[in-house]
Amino acid sequence: MALEAGYPEIRTVGIDGMLVSFGDRLSEPANRAALAFRAEVERESWDGVEESASSLVSCYLRFDPLYLRHADLAAKLRGLIESRDWMQAPLPGGRRLHRIPTVYGGALAPQFGEAAAAAGLSEREALDSLSGARVRVTALGFAPGQPYLGELPECWDIPRQQALTPQVQPGALVLAIRQFVLFTVQAQTGWRHVGQTAAKLVRLGEARPFLLAPGDEVTFPSVSEEVFARMQGDAEGGASWEALA
């Protein structure tokens, strides 16, 4: 897939940040490029770079601008940008595939039917589509460890709702514009609440305090409310994972 004109683009963030962007809207290749590029930045671990992160379509670097000059860092980044076609780069190693059992619809996820209708699907079709989808953690944000996941099939390009849902519980799986968000906190949202999970995404005090990392992949297989009730007492909330390449 061709890059949009003007990309990749290097911009400054404040006085101590630099951002390499691979597009101005979310797409699979731009997200792939951001993940792969950040992995390479981490591997390079240039002297003076203090932190890196990927967002939906960019890689961010925080550095000490009095130690590492902007021009020098920009030159390093340009060299890395030109070293390969990032939009087709393989995703980095060390990623995981997570399986997070989910209750779709019913009292636990009351907007499932509404979302199915908005997507032009029957509830049966919607259930098959969502529980069969394998999505990527495109970014973490809004709250610590809270993933944006995409992309869902085209039929799920449904807008956010007009009114905000005043409160969804942690573990709520919400949907809009071909993406899921899986809430780690109680929050209000304009996205439709289609599923409920019991997975614990934040585990402070453990070696890996956040279950999901950018680039990980997730499936949300459907379970009954009875199975869900049993999983809630489980330390992993029913979730399991395996290593990807």
- Contact footprint for another protein (CB under 8 A): 11-17, 19, 21, 23-26, 38, 50-58, 60, 62, 65-66, 70, 139-146, 184-185, 202, 204-205, 209-210, 213-214
The residue written with tokens 């049993």 in the block is 230
Query: By C-beta, is 91 or 202 nearer to another protein?
Result: 202
Integer Cα distance of 66 and 240 in angstroms? 45
Closest CB 27 distance from another protein, rounded Å: 10
Q: Return d(Cα 38, Cα 61) in angstroms, integer.
A: 9
Q: Minimum CB separation from another protein for residue 152, in Å?
A: 17
Q: With CA atoms as reference, report the closest residue to 185 among 58, 194, 174.
A: 174
Which residue's CB is nearer to another protein, number 84 or number 203? 203
CB of 142 to another protein, least distance (A): 6
Nearest to another protein of 7, 104 (CB atom): 7
d(CA 45, CA 28): 26
Please, which residue, 135 or 139, has the CB nearer to another protein? 139
CB of 131 to another protein, least distance (A): 26
Q: Give whichever of 11 and 134 is closer to another protein, judged by the CB atom.
A: 11
- The amino acid present at 207, given as its one-letter code, is A
Minimum Å distance from CB 61 to another protein? 10
The CB-of-159 to another protein minimum distance in angstroms stands at 12
Backbone angles phi, psi at 209, to 5 degrees: -70, -20
Instruction: Give 147 or 195: the residue with its C-beta nearer to another protein.
Output: 147
